[in-house]
Amino acid sequence: MKEIRMPNEEYAYFYSGYENPVAEVDVKEEVAVYTLDAFNGLVKTPKDTVSTLACQLFNPLTGPIVIKGAEKGDTLKVTIKSIENTSGVAVGACMNTIGGINATTVTRMINDPITEKVWIYDYKDGEFTSRENPKLKFREQPFSGSLGTAPENEVISSTVPSTFGGNMDVKDMCPGNTLYFPVNVDGAYFYIGDAHGRQGDGELNGTGLEMAAKFILEFDLIKGKKIEWPRIENDEYIMTVGSARPLEDAARIAWCELVEWIVEEYGWDKLDAYELLSKCGEMYLGNMVDPNYSMVAMVKKEYL
Amino acid sequence: MKEIRMPNEEYAYFYSGYENPVAEVDVKEEVAVYTLDAFNGLVKTPKDTVSTLACQLFNPLTGPIVIKGAEKGDTLKVTIKSIENTSGVAVGACMNTIGGINATTVTRMINDPITEKVWIYDYKDGEFTSRENPKLKFREQPFSGSLGTAPENEVISSTVPSTFGGNMDVKDMCPGNTLYFPVNVDGAYFYIGDAHGRQGDGELNGTGLEMAAKFILEFDLIKGKKIEWPRIENDEYIMTVGSARPLEDAARIAWCELVEWIVEEYGWDKLDAYELLSKCGEMYLGNMVDPNYSMVAMVKKEYL
Amino acid sequence: MKEIRMPNEEYAYFYSGYENPVAEVDVKEEVAVYTLDAFNGLVKTPKDTVSTLACQLFNPLTGPIVIKGAEKGDTLKVTIKSIENTSGVAVGACMNTIGGINATTVTRMINDPITEKVWIYDYKDGEFTSRENPKLKFREQPFSGSLGTAPENEVISSTVPSTFGGNMDVKDMCPGNTLYFPVNVDGAYFYIGDAHGRQGDGELNGTGLEMAAKFILEFDLIKGKKIEWPRIENDEYIMTVGSARPLEDAARIAWCELVEWIVEEYGWDKLDAYELLSKCGEMYLGNMVDPNYSMVAMVKKEYL
Amino acid sequence: MKEIRMPNEEYAYFYSGYENPVAEVDVKEEVAVYTLDAFNGLVKTPKDTVSTLACQLFNPLTGPIVIKGAEKGDTLKVTIKSIENTSGVAVGACMNTIGGINATTVTRMINDPITEKVWIYDYKDGEFTSRENPKLKFREQPFSGSLGTAPENEVISSTVPSTFGGNMDVKDMCPGNTLYFPVNVDGAYFYIGDAHGRQGDGELNGTGLEMAAKFILEFDLIKGKKIEWPRIENDEYIMTVGSARPLEDAARIAWCELVEWIVEEYGWDKLDAYELLSKCGEMYLGNMVDPNYSMVAMVKKEYL
């Protein structure tokens, strides 16, 4: 199996169609992709609070990976076969710059900042246990917090979620689901990173169980089919992800994308689809900490 | 069993501590409470779009019900034993005044308004089926959209969710869960209505399966315990509901209330509780259509 | 001139169509209305921080004043002839419960709360000077923070701004302007209070120069003309006030109301009115601290 | 005077520290900078609605201009000496993708989209007059909608306002004011474009009077002084610009930046500064149409 690593440990911090590919892969070819944790592997003890770290960029990505045959206007299908913790540890933290229920650089307040804190977790037998407080103990439910394709023109930080995917921090970007992303440039230029051993809805303090990982991935293409925002599918559900602020705009995007999916592929009337979601749609919070917030809209296939 | 109905079918449309009680009940006494649907029973055919209805007030409530022994500063515990559809039908609708993905009276737009539409559902064997489009067919999962206690001073519309409960449109206000509300006036002055045969997260077009219902309820009190916002509990979860706009403020309220619950009753450190929720907290959308939006934060008890 | 005071100093704290009128006035009759400051006159020294006050209700109102001949569906025209400070002092404060740039009960944060503080101002020769810091010195520019008509059905706190006016905290609710409010109940049931000697845009810490006042008012009616939200007019401008959260919804309401005003009364095409406001509309922040935020949209009459 | 034009009319569409400079200028050297209108000069008749244009990128910029001696951590001072309309025309438009009071790609709605429309303005003697509706007639009040320095790491679209300036669409970015931007990369890499002959607060339909222009600019540096967000100063006011969504977060940033300016440079206590702004601060809407909304906070120097 092809192994994809960043040469000289020089990671990417942007979704960009202008960088040199680190690998080219065929559709339906399984590849192993190695990623670093969101803090560049620098948080090793509880003293390594985020503001003390000697780095300015976070969420290192592995990529761009060129998907052979991908052309602008196609849809990229990504299957995550597995996610494996590669370092035996994971990290959680609270910070002053981001966070769902603390003052941040965007939701600015004159209140005193909160105290920064770090938790180091040992990983063993599928379970993460905090060294500082063993009640913080979680079974793994891994996914990628930041993954997607290059935008058409811009060069966007790996911390931003948007139309092309990016830092959505959505737990359904996980093994077992089929993930869809728009192809905005020939080759797709796929990036992945920010593995989370597990995360609560919202990524409330700005961190999941941040870890280095090995992903087994497989790609496929839906030629000539254009989507506007990331989508997710499994046997039970179809799901859409919207990313914006305020949270209701993220929700509106996800719901409207889901209405369109139902109208276009299942042949429903638009208002009937609206009624359907009002009765059995589901929506959970992806993240409320990143530059855009993410909401996930979903509906069971049995209703369609 | 005591049966509580509104005399002369004159329903309440406000949460108020100033009205004459329709009943007084003891703690641990089971009572049957009869409620009307949110459209005052006036929507009977697809032609009865909401703007044509001869009424100005919606969400009729049954109440106030005085809970004997309740004093300001207590917590009211409500158990819904059962919810029964009493008319054999239910109603769904889309409107121009409210809705999660259409222009409304609050999110005002100069776009042309959407077309109003009504769906009438027959209820049989626990299932609702639309007469207009039989693909709109849903198994029941009933709850109360609007319930709670009188606020201390204000008189608040039955369409508004807030600290005292109200029109939260949260699906976990259902049989099987224990619901907690602050007691703001002596006697609690409990109201209930707006039964939904089922509802999707967000109550997207502004309606669940709106139906008349019979509730079997039981009340209890936690004397001298003051809570700020509604709470929900079952064997698996503790949950909090926050209601505000924008949606992130509703989320912040629910998360902060959950942090406080964990700190006060489970003895956790505040930042550790923040970390806990970042790793395993859950949050779903209650409603994004009412005067305040509602979000539900929850965590499994096994983590506490 | 008729003098209107609350009997026994028992003020109103709600906009309500259900209370007994304190006065009835004719159109075009000048009346003097006496009001208390927002803190019920209880803040007298810097030690009287808001959380220490022995009161639960704020923003006392004088009213309801019945306007003879007013019928539901009319528009009430209010002219403030003058506002006079009646106590020689005014008060400013910062609090933990509300505020534009501190964590509040709605924008909840786990940060430590800010320190409460009070400023007492002496009023002399049209100028307010803080006893604590004489650099805090302001020339008067008085207006009413909370005024309006009873809503049709609800009983709404004097701290809430909405369609009927209320606690908009908009500096253009001042002498020299003509103010318009919807008449929702026969008699209009007008209330006024919360005089501000001056206020910055947004009422940032939750207070203007809070003072007791004597208002000279004159009322008039536009029979059979229905407006949805408060409006303001003077020789130079027409203005609309929208109140909602988030702030962009308050803005959308104000802009859409202004578009409709231009279309209906000045005969413009809707899209041309949209273009007009894009080129010369003005918008300032009324308040960003109350239960709804308020934005003021305005356009110079010379463009119409 | 040095004239700065884009070679071969190949404009920049991103704020980037990675592009080759088009010019290097000394501090206190006056330069003339030529810019294209936001629609790349392609809108020439009312039929040229935005969705018909043969371009994907908008807001062409002239730059990067290297300021000699500028180092990361300095503050760049920009004076706009004059702005001259160079084509005799200007353009306004309403669109389906952006706009303050129509459904957009972010505030997604299922309502039908609005009708696109274009207005062409002739410019003569300092006045713009619409060919389609001569009541749309405006005296010029020119400024730059999009200007600023390269961000440190990212490459950001010219349509986005942020910490480095960018597409703020703030009318005070005009002749007569001193503008301050953070220097994030050595040389500052300044860009400018998107000249507006005039614009209403909010840039409501997404356009000002979009025009090609000649700017006379002068730069200066404040060595070793770091600012976080753009600032503006003139004889009467100090002002700060915050850009974010929702609008209240843009407001919070601007107010907090203004508090810090008053604390750091005028020696005020933080809570006294809070009180000061509550009494005499001013805030107007910059834009409510761009990827981030912008708010301007300001206070008269006489109070400081």
Q: What is the pLDDT of residues B74-94, one digit of tens each?
A: 999 999 999 999 999 999 999
Pairing of β B137-139 and β B127-130: antiparallel
The pLDDT mean for chain A works out to 97
- pLDDT, position A71: 98
Pick the residue of B139, B140, B245, B275 with the most A CBs within 10 A to test the interface with A by mutation: B275
For the cut 90, the answer to whether the pLDDT of residue D281 exceeds it is yes
Write down how long chain B is.
Answer: 304
- For the residues of C177-219, what is the DSSP string, one character each? SEEEEE--STT--EEEEEEES---TB-TTS-S-B--EEEEEEE
**Residues near A52 by Cβ (< 8 Å), separated by ≥ 6?**
none
**Residues near B270 by Cβ (< 8 Å), separated by ≥ 6?**
B259, B263, C110
Interface residues of chain A, partner chain C, Cβ below 8 Å: 101-103, 107-114, 246
Share of chain D above pLDDT 90, in %: 97
Beta-carbon count within 10 A of D205 CB: 28
The subunits that touch chain D, with at least 3 C-beta pairs less than 8 Å apart, are: A, B, C
The residue of chain B nearest to residue D96, with distances taken between CA atoms, is B111
Q: What is the pLDDT of residues B8-21, one digit of tens each?
A: 989 999 999 999 99
Query: Can you tell me the distance from the alpha carbon of B96 to that of D138, in angstroms, rounded to the nearest whole number?
Result: 36
Residues of A within 8 A of D57 (CB-CB) are 153
Contact C78, C230 (CB under 8 A): no
Query: Can you tell me the distance from the alpha carbon of D117 to that of C272, in angstroms, rounded to the nearest whole number?
Result: 9
- pLDDT, position D112: 97
Query: Can you tell me the distance from the alpha carbon of A158 to that of A60, in angstroms, rounded to the nearest whole number?
Result: 7
Q: Which neighbouring-strand residues pair with A156?
A: A15
Contact A186, A71 (CB under 8 A): yes
Residues of D within 8 A of B109 (CB-CB) are 101-103, 109, 111
For the cut 90, the answer to whether the pLDDT of residue A187 exceeds it is yes
| Average pLDDT rounded to a whole number, residues D4-24 | 95
- Tell me whether residues B101 and D109 touch, CB distance under 8 A: yes
Pairing of β D156-157 and β A156-157: unpaired
- Tell me whether residues A204 and B138 touch, CB distance under 8 A: no
| Average pLDDT rounded to a whole number, residues D69-97 | 97
Query: Can you tell me the distance from the alpha carbon of C12 to that of C28, in angstroms, rounded to the nearest whole number?
Result: 25
For the cut 90, the answer to whether the pLDDT of residue D153 exceeds it is no
How close D99 gets to chain B, by Cα (Å)?
10
- Tell me whether residues A107 and D252 touch, CB distance under 8 A: yes
Query: Can you tell me the distance from the alpha carbon of A218 to that of A65, in angstroms, rounded to the nearest whole number?
Result: 12
Share of chain A above pLDDT 70, in %: 100
Q: Of the candidates B16, B152, B244, which has its C-beta nearest C106's C-beta?
A: B244
Contact D297, D281 (CB under 8 A): yes
User: Is omega for the bond preceding B64 within 30 degrees of 0, making it cis?
Assistant: yes
Q: What is the pLDDT of residues D104-147, one digit of tens each?
A: 999 999 999 999 999 999 999 999 999 999 999 999 999 999 99
Query: Can you tell me the distance from the alpha carbon of D20 to that of C74, in angstroms, rounded to the nearest whole number?
Result: 65
The subunits that touch chain B, with at least 3 C-beta pairs less than 8 Å apart, are: A, C, D
Pick the residue of C98, C132, C204, C253 with the most D CBs within 10 A to test the interface with D by mutation: C204
Residues of C within 8 A of B16 (CB-CB) are 155
The distance of Cα A189 from the centroid of its chain, to the nearest Å, equals 16
- pLDDT, position B56: 86
The distance of Cα D159 from the centroid of its chain, to the nearest Å, equals 9
Pick the residue of A106, A137, A171, A275 with the most B CBs within 10 A to test the interface with B by mutation: A275
- Tell me whether residues A274 and B94 touch, CB distance under 8 A: yes
- pLDDT, position D44: 96
Pairing of β B14-15 and β D31-35: unpaired
For the cut 90, the answer to whether the pLDDT of residue A58 exceeds it is yes
Across D166-179, b (16+ Cβ under 10 Å) vs e yields bbbbbbbbbeebeb
The residue of chain B nearest to residue A254, with distances taken between CA atoms, is B101
How close C109 gets to chain B, by Cα (Å)?
7
What are the percentages of helix, strand and coil residues in chain C, rounded to 5? Answer: 15, 40, 50
> 3-class SS at B203?
coil
Q: What is the pLDDT of residues A145-183, one digit of tens each?
A: 999 999 998 889 999 999 999 999 999 999 999 999 999
The residue of chain B nearest to residue C270, with distances taken between CA atoms, is B110
Q: How far is CA D5 from CA A38, B199, D120, D180, in A?
A: 42, 59, 25, 23
The distance of Cα C70 from the centroid of its chain, to the nearest Å, equals 21
Pairing of β C23-25 and β C61-67: parallel
Query: Can you tell me the distance from the alpha carbon of D130 to that of D124, in angstroms, rounded to the nearest whole number?
Result: 11
Write down how long chain A is.
Answer: 304
Residues of D within 8 A of B101 (CB-CB) are 108-110
Q: How far is CA B137 from CA B71, B286, C288, in A?
A: 44, 21, 44
Query: Can you tell me the distance from the alpha carbon of A157 to that of C250, in angstroms, rounded to the nearest whole number?
Result: 32
- pLDDT, position B43: 97
Return the closest-CA partner of residue A276 out of A250, A296, A248, A255.
A255
Instruction: Tell me the one-letter amino acid at A4.
Output: I
- pLDDT, position A154: 87
The pLDDT mean for chain B works out to 97
- pLDDT, position D73: 98
For the cut 90, the answer to whether the pLDDT of residue D56 exceeds it is no
First to last CA, chain D: 38
Contact B283, A284 (CB under 8 A): yes
Range list of H helices, chain A: 247-266, 270-280
- Tell me whether residues B111 and D109 touch, CB distance under 8 A: yes
- pLDDT, position C154: 87
Residues of B within 8 A of A280 (CB-CB) are 138, 198, 200
- pLDDT, position C153: 86
Return the closest-CA partner of residue C256 out of C233, C280, C274, C238.
C274
Q: Of the candidates A16, A152, A249, which has its C-beta nearest D107's C-beta?
A: A249
CA within 13 Å, CB half, B117: 16
CA trace torsion B152, B157, B163, B167 (10° rounding): 150
- Tell me whether residues B155 and C244 touch, CB distance under 8 A: no
Contact C59, C145 (CB under 8 A): yes
Contact B284, A285 (CB under 8 A): yes
CA trace torsion A227, A231, A234, A238 (10° rounding): -90
Write down how long chain C is.
Answer: 304
Query: Can you tell me the distance from the alpha carbon of D146 to that of D59, in angstroms, rounded to the nearest whole number?
Result: 8
The model scores a pTM over 0.90: yes
Residues of chain C whose pLDDT is less than 70?
none
